[in-house]
Amino acid sequence: MKEKSENKLDQLFRDGISGAEDHIAFREEDWASMEQLLDKKSNRKAGVFRIVYFAAGIAALLLLAIGLYFYTDNNNKIDPTNTNLNSKNTKGQSAKDKIQPVKSANTPAAQLPVNSDSLGNTPAQNSSNSAQGSSTTSGLTKQQYAVNTPYSGLPSTDQHGLKVRASDNGENKPADNSPVNNNKVLPLIAAIVDTVGNKNKPGVDNVGSKVQNNIAANTTPPDTVTDQLTAQEKKQMLAVKTAVIKNRPQFSISVLAASDANAVNSFGHSQTGTNYGVQLSLKLTRKLTVSTGAAYAIKPYSTSPGSYSSAYPQSVYTTNIQANCKVLDIPLNVSYQVYSKGNNAISLGSGVSSYFMLRENYRYDYTQDSGLDPKYIEIKNQNKHLFGVLNINANYQRRINSRFSAVVQPYMKLPLTGIGNGKVDLKSTGVALGINWNIGSAFGAK
């Protein structure tokens, strides 16, 4: 009975609804919006080309950055070394001769843990460890780093000074090595601790001499080495040392807040948004920095229906769409330092951002004669645009002290794809202000 009645219902609607073509009059405004769609379609091809251009631009920037990286890397390595070697040859020939055999004798890997131990631990631990003759393996990577640095010009660098000494320790450690000399080890470690401790302090001059003294103390005729090292050599050693330290990747964290203008297509009708973010930077060389992070951005904007390509609930009567989007912005940028003098540094950067649309609110306004009320829509976590936005920024940093600097960062974000539900061409430009905290080297320069 019920089944029959339901079928009757279906039939009622099927018959009543079908064949309704004649009931429906043609509306010119529907064709108008159809034409808009058709026009947009032909523009889409141009959009594809635009993406290709942007991609090519990014690739070129990355290539340039990598090229500069290698170029500056080579310069840093070669120049100081050469001068150092030259000076060595003229002045410190005998010193070099004395040191080198010691070093080569000490290269076996078994000796590394001992050295790393003395580098990584506190002074007290060091002395006690070495006094007991124990060998731990902590901080091996640090040691490996030191070992892996180019050989040239090395006897004078701090690291190599350490290496020489440490390997002396190493010789003392293994049981099969004949003279285990604790008297010799103890002062030696103390000296290492000294040099390590001094490394980050301003009075670095001491380091050189201490290194030399240590080397001298442990290589066989000590006096010949120390005497022949001149003040000039020490300076050059320092230059090498600082170059090496600067080449170490350094981490820093920035906390940034920004106010920016958001607009679709052009900045004619822009609205102000806010951004809060953290940024982690890795300084690869003195000039090249890679950074990533996360920012929470509020992006309000308004657009005409022509720029907004999602249908619902848009119609030919839509006059304006007001949007407010909460976005999680994950950038990946490369920047290159173009200016650095005193406390001021300026760098230029570029990269891509991924947008995760956390919340999108839209309000659709319709023409008055349509009699439609504004319609509100909220969309949560529906749209994400991986590497969908091109970043261009300039970065001005002013050092406050050795750890902190103030950052001013004008930036521009240009979409490579349509952003959000309406696939709009949402551009942002603004200035970020913040504080940068220099954490230091990843390889324990401390």
Partner 1 sequence: MGEAELQQLIAGCLNHSRKDQKMLYKAFYGFAMSICLRYAGNRYEAAEIMNQGFLKVFTNLQKYDTSRPFIAWVGRIMMNTSVDYYRSNLKLSLNDDLDAAEDIGHNELPDQKLNYDDLIAMVQQLPNAYRTVFNLFAIEGFSHEEIATKLGISTGTSKSNLFKAREKLKNMVINSGRLPDTSAGNAQHTIVAIGAISISISVLIELIMK
Indicate the residue among 324 and 405 with the shorter CB distance to partner 1: 324
CB of residue 18 to partner 1, shortest distance in Å: 7
Q: How far apart are CA 212 and CA 165, in angstroms?
A: 10
Residues 195 and 214: beta-carbon distance below 8 Å: yes
Out of 55, 243, 377, 412, point to the residue binding partner 1 (CB under 8 A).
377
CB burial string 93-109: b at 16+ within 10 A, e below:
eebbebbeebbeebeee
State the burial class of residue 368 (Cβ atoms within 10 Å of its Cβ: 0-12, 13-18, 19+). Answer: exposed
Binding mask 263-302 for partner 1 (x = CB under 8 A): -----------x-----------------------x-x--
Work out whether 18 is an interface residue with partner 1 (CB under 8 A): yes
Q: Which two tokens stand for residue 37?
A: 């769609």
Work out whether 16 is an interface residue with partner 1 (CB under 8 A): yes
Indicate the residue among 142 and 299 with the shorter CB distance to partner 1: 299
Q: Which residue has the tokens 């406050």?
A: 400
Q: How far apart are CA 75 and CA 293, in angstroms?
A: 31
CB of residue 423 to partner 1, shortest distance in Å: 12
Task: Name the nearest CA neighbour of 420 among 258, 273, 299.
Answer: 299
Work out whether 341 is an interface residue with partner 1 (CB under 8 A): no
Q: How far apart are CA 247 and CA 5, in angstroms?
A: 84
Q: Is 121 helix (H, G, I), strand (E, B) or coil?
A: coil
Work out whether 379 is an interface residue with partner 1 (CB under 8 A): yes
Out of 34, 52, 63, 433, point to the residue binding partner 1 (CB under 8 A).
34
At position 425, the amino acid (one-letter code) is D
Indicate the residue among 23 and 446 with the shorter CB distance to partner 1: 23
Q: Which two tokens stand for residue 210?
A: 């201490």
Work out whether 14 is an interface residue with partner 1 (CB under 8 A): yes
Out of 140, 280, 316, 414, point to the residue binding partner 1 (CB under 8 A).
316
CB burial string 34-56: b at 16+ within 10 A, e below:
eeeeeeeeeeeeeeeeeeeebee
| 18-26, 90-98, 155-163, 220-228 -> range binding partner 1 (CB under 8 A) | 18-26
Out of 107, 343, 382, 402, point to the residue binding partner 1 (CB under 8 A).
382
Binding to partner 1 (CB under 8 A) within 213-242 occurs at: none
Output the CA–CA distances (angstroms, integers) from residue 112 to 192, 196, 216, in the order listed: 15, 17, 20
CB burial string 153-164: b at 16+ within 10 A, e below:
bbbbbbbbbbbb
Work out whether 12 is an interface residue with partner 1 (CB under 8 A): yes
Work out whether 47 is an interface residue with partner 1 (CB under 8 A): no
Out of 31, 267, 339, 404, point to the residue binding partner 1 (CB under 8 A).
31
Indicate the residue among 324 and 397 with the shorter CB distance to partner 1: 324
Indicate the residue among 25 and 124 with the shorter CB distance to partner 1: 25
CB of residue 319 to partner 1, shortest distance in Å: 13
Q: How far apart are CA 446 and CA 442, in angstroms?
A: 10
- Total residues contacting partner 1 by CB under 8 A comes to 49
Indicate the residue among 222 and 300 with the shorter CB distance to partner 1: 300
Q: Which residues bind partner 1 (CB under 8 A)?
A: 1-2, 5-6, 8-10, 12-14, 16-18, 20-27, 30-31, 33-35, 37-38, 41, 274, 298, 300, 311-317, 324, 361, 363, 372-374, 376-377, 379, 382
